[in-house]
Amino acid sequence: MYESIINRLSFFDGIDILAPLIERDFRGRIALVSSFGAESAVLLHMAAQIDRSIPVIFLDTGKLFWETISYRSKLVDHLGLTDIRTIKPKAAELAQADPQGMLHASNPDLCCHIRKREPLERALSGFAAWISGRKRFHGGARANIPTLEVANGRLKIEPLARFTGKDIENYIEHHDLPRHPFIGEGYRSIGCLPCTVKGGTSDNPRAGRWAGLSKEECGIHWSANGKPLRVSRH
What amino acid positions are annotated as catalytic residues?
Answer: 218
CB 171 within 8 A of CB 35: no
**114: part of which helix (H) or strand (E)?**
none
Which of 14, 37, 55, 108 is the binder for ligand SF4 (CB under 6 A)? 108
**Closer residue to ligand SF4 in complex, CB, 6/229:** 229
- Within 8 A by CB and 6+ apart from 136, the residues are 142, 143, 144, 145, 161, 162
Any contact of residue 192 with ligand SF4 (CB under 6 A)? yes
Which amino acid, residue 130? Answer: W
Q: Map the footprint of ligand SF4 across residues 137-156, applying CB under 6 A.
A: none
Residue nearest to ligand SF4 (CB): 192
Query: C-beta of 104: minimal distance to ligand SF4 in Å?
Result: 4
Instruction: Compute the 3-state secondary structure of the chain and give helix, strand, coil in percent, each to the nearest 5.
Output: 40, 15, 45
Instruction: Work out whether 32 is an interface residue with ligand SF4 (CB under 6 A).
Output: no
**Contact characters 198-227, ligand SF4, x per CB under 6 A:** --------------------x---------
DSSP secondary structure code for residue 103 in this structure: H
135 vs 206, beta carbon nearer ligand SF4: 206
C-beta separation of 158 from 146 below 8 A? yes
In Å, how far from its chain's centre is CA 192? Answer: 13
Q: In the set 18, 31, 72, 116, which binds ligand SF4 (CB under 6 A)?
A: 116
Dist. CA 103–CA 80, nearest whole Å:
36
10 close to 3: Cβ distance less than 8 angstroms:
no
| Of the residues 104, 134, 135, 180, which one makes contact with ligand SF4 according to CB under 6 A | 104
The residues that touch ligand SF4, with contacts defined as CB under 6 A, are: 61, 63, 104, 108, 111-112, 115-116, 191-192, 194-195, 218
